[in-house]
Amino acid sequence: MRDVLTGAVTGGLGSAGFYGAGKAVDVLRGSVAGRGSGEIPVSGRRPDFYVAPNGVAVPATGYRYMSSWGATDALNTGRQYITYFGFDKFDSAKEAREAFQISGNWSDCKIRGAFDTLQVIDAMYIPITLGNTTTVPEPFAVSYPEYGEGGAQQFRIDKVIEFLEVKIIGD
């Protein structure tokens, strides 16, 4: 029985942390023993990470920096088609532009959308250098040094997502 419980809870997790593991063990023990409701208690908090089917830990919150002239849907409906995103939260549009090497002509990055990455975990991929025009992967922004230091970890998803929060940030 002990091996079944241990395997059921820890199987496939490796060294990655599991949010609420203690509560999950209690629920599983109660269910197996015929006690308890079998329901997982909800704390009201979101996890910090998700574990993708391939075992990779993915931060639970992603950030998309959008132009003030192109984020109408995000501001009005909380949904928007997005491409590039990352996991770094910047409170300044200039910091975001420099980290992601974004020209001010492409975007002023004054709108920050935070979203739950669970909705994109199966669709996200590493972009290709120079705006997806080569065959060289670019997991960290390096293609356009004339627009900033770069170095931000970046992904693409190419889909409409729902934001948890959309906020106008300062320069």
55-96: pLDDT as tens digits: 999 999 999 999 999 899 999 999 999 999 999 999 999 999
In the chain, domain spans: 56-168
- Are 32 and 2 in contact by the 8 Å Cβ rule? The answer is no
Residue 2 has phi, psi (to 5 degrees) of: -60, -40
Across the beta sheet with 111-116, the strand order is: 61-66, 111-116, 155-168, 79-85
Q: Whole-model pTM?
A: 0.73
What is the torsional sign of CA 61, 58, 74, 70? positive
Tens-place pLDDT, residues 117-165: 999 999 999 999 988 889 999 999 999 999 999 999 999 999 999 999 9
